[in-house]
Amino acid sequence: MVSEPLLRVEGLEVAYGEVQVLWGLDLAVAEQEVVALVGSNGAGKTTTLKALAGALRPRAGRIVFEGRDITGRPAADAVRTGIVLVPEGRQLFAGMSVHENLMMGAYARQDGMGAIRQDLDWVYELFRELAKKRGQLAGTLSGGEQQMCAIGRGLMAKPRLLLLDELSLGLAPVIVDRLVEIVTRIHRERGLAILLVEQDLNVALAMAGRGYVLETGRLVRSGAAEELLADEAVRAAYLGM
Ligand code: ATP
């Protein structure tokens, strides 16, 4: 990459106490790029996203966003900088309505109610399913609707880089297809940069142009989506073929 990417990660190392789980990760996401991070259970995908979102403090390495070193900054700073995580398991406020959950996403914005309302309309247009249920408690939504609400809440923060953790987890294929369609639309309409984590290679590479393969805390492969999908070793490891 010739110009400075939107996100550049160098030598990232993260540990939980004595147990180190990421070992020197180097990765980059360009403006408007959709990149996948794939790998099996426990490889360290969620840990990587949490470190980028400021929820975990790296032991070593650098996280550079728009040319600025943001390593070790707290999560609230990351959101203000434009890095927004849609967490695994969605973590909605179950006792609050869909509308309230979406508005929680906008808490750190300073660009005024007009802009926030416009984004809210856009989110309801993207997720027609939610528009009909804006007053319903999030805890009573179906799994797919909860995932939509979590993505919508992330979008309400007006991200420059959206981190999506395991969108497809536990959802029926027809719902996963709908989520893939919406993520593709979000990218097309807003040119948003997205780093997404998936265990399912096919789902990941249906959305991403490029991917990285993570194995027990180390990046072992990277390449264009079609290259990774055509790679026998990668397919054997992640598609069970
Ligand atoms: P999954 O798809 O299962 O979420 P993952 O690739 O996202 O897998 P991580 O959740 O990042 O993997 O976990 C990486 C490693 O770190 C695992 O061995 C896991 O047991 C360990 N780990 C994760 N969270 C903690 C924690 N809070 N304390 C200690 N170890 C942890």
Q: What is the pLDDT of residues 105-127, one digit of tens each?
A: 999 898 999 999 999 999 999 99
Report how far ligand 1's centroid is from the alpha carbon of 183 (Å): 25
Index of the ligand 1 atom closest to the CA of residue 169: 2
- pLDDT score, position 236: 75
Report how far ligand 1's centroid is from the alpha carbon of 216 (Å): 10
As to burial, measured by CB atoms within 10 angstroms (0-12 exposed, 13-18 middle, 19+ buried), residue 170 is exposed
User: How far is the C-alpha of 9 from the C-alpha of 15, rounded, in Å?
Assistant: 16
Domain spans in the chain, listed from the N-terminal domain onward: 7-238
pTM above 0.85, yes or no: yes
User: How far is the C-alpha of 56 from the C-alpha of 163, rounded, in Å?
Assistant: 14
3-state DSSP assignment of residue 64: strand
User: How far is the C-alpha of 93 from the C-alpha of 114, rounded, in Å?
Assistant: 24
The answer to whether 234 touches 221, Cβ cutoff 8 Å, is yes
- pLDDT score, position 2: 56
- pLDDT score, position 241: 44
- pLDDT score, position 103: 97
- pLDDT score, position 144: 94
Instruction: Out of 14, 16, 198, give the residue to mutate to test ligand 1, the one with the largest number of ligand atoms within 8 Å of its CB.
Output: 16
Among the listed residues 101, 187, 172, the one whose alpha carbon sits nearest the alpha carbon of residue 139: 101
To which CATH superfamily is domain 7-238 assigned?
Answer: P-loop containing nucleotide triphosphate hydrolases (3.40.50.300)
Report how far ligand 1's centroid is from the alpha carbon of 18 (Å): 14
Q: Whose Cα sits closest to atom 3 in ligand 1? A: 41
Pairing of strands 218-224, 210-215: antiparallel
Side by side, the strands of the sheet bearing 83-86 are: 83-86, 161-165, 193-198, 34-38, 210-215, 218-224
Q: Whose Cα sits closest to atom 18 in ligand 1? A: 42
Backbone angles phi, psi at 20, to 5 degrees: -85, 130
**The pair of three-digit structure tokens given for residue 18, joined into one six-digit string:** 């004595």
User: How far is the C-alpha of 62 from the C-alpha of 31, rounded, in Å?
Assistant: 19
User: How many CB atoms within 10 Å of residue 117?
Assistant: 11
- pLDDT score, position 239: 62
The answer to whether 39 touches 213, Cβ cutoff 8 Å, is yes
Residue type, 219: L
User: How far is the C-alpha of 132 from the C-alpha of 136, rounded, in Å?
Assistant: 9
Report how far ligand 1's centroid is from the alpha carbon of 41 (Å): 8
Index of the ligand 1 atom closest to the CA of residue 48: 11
* pLDDT < 70: residue spans in the chain: 1-2, 239-241
- pLDDT score, position 89: 79
Index of the ligand 1 atom closest to the CA of residue 50: 11
